[in-house]
Amino acid sequence: AGVVFVGAAVGPIHAVEPSRAIRVDCTPVDAPHVDVLVVPGGLGWKQVIDDPATRAWLTTAALEARGILAISTGSLLLASVGRLEGRSATGHWLAEDELAALGVNVSSMRTASDDGGRVVTASGALAAVQVVDGLADQARWAEWMPDGS
């Protein structure tokens, strides 16, 4: 798989959870098409969604991706662009009220899936690891199914 990090500016950024450096490869303006969209969570989710270019890209990428995995407060990012409205989803337990306010049918389970398994949300990183194989299989099968079924 080719992994691409999309962010407001290209270059290294300091991630908090856990502490490490991540290199952003491209901005929303020049981001490639995404087959599987992974939306991580973190303390800075509100700053991310306040950026208009990132917001527009996330809206489109979530619509076009074959599979979506939102982790922790990443569910709030997806919900804030309308991609989880009316869907069953989970996220960080401290964000359940905010998810509900964004029109999400909040699940208290560690993972929740919707849209035939195309959209998966996880309460945290450990729960996300449990669903990665399923999303990868779904994306691989989509390549072999010319009619998209």
What's the CA gap between 89 and 100, in Å, rounded?
Answer: 10
User: Residue 17's pLDDT band (boundaries 50, 70, 90)?
Assistant: low
What's the CA gap between 80 and 55, in Å, rounded?
Answer: 9
Higher pLDDT, residue 136 or 115: 115
pLDDT of residue 113: 87
**Which domains can be identified in the chain, with CATH numbers?**
33-144 (3.40.50.880)
Would you say residue 148 has pLDDT above 60?
A: no
Residue 114: CB atoms within 10 A of its CB come to 18
Burial tier of 11 (Cβ tally within 10 Å: 0-12, 13-18, 19+): exposed
Reported as a single tens digit per residue, the pLDDT across 56-96 is 999 999 999 988 999 999 999 999 999 999 999 999 999 99
Round the average pLDDT of the chain to a whole number and report it: 86
Query: Rg of the chain's alpha carbons, rounded to an integer?
Result: 15
What's the CA gap between 68 and 98, in Å, rounded?
Answer: 20
Tokens of 97: 């009220």
Tokens of 42: 């973190």
What's the CA gap between 110 and 136, in Å, rounded?
Answer: 19
Higher pLDDT, residue 149 or 127: 127
Contacts of 112 (CB under 8 A, 6+ apart): 88, 89, 90, 120, 121
E strands, the chain, in order: 11-15, 20-24, 36-39, 67-71, 88-89, 105-106, 111-114, 119-122
Reported as a single tens digit per residue, the pLDDT across 21-42 is 889 999 999 999 998 899 998 8
User: What percent of the chain lies above the pLDDT cut of 90?
Assistant: 54
pLDDT of residue 41: 86
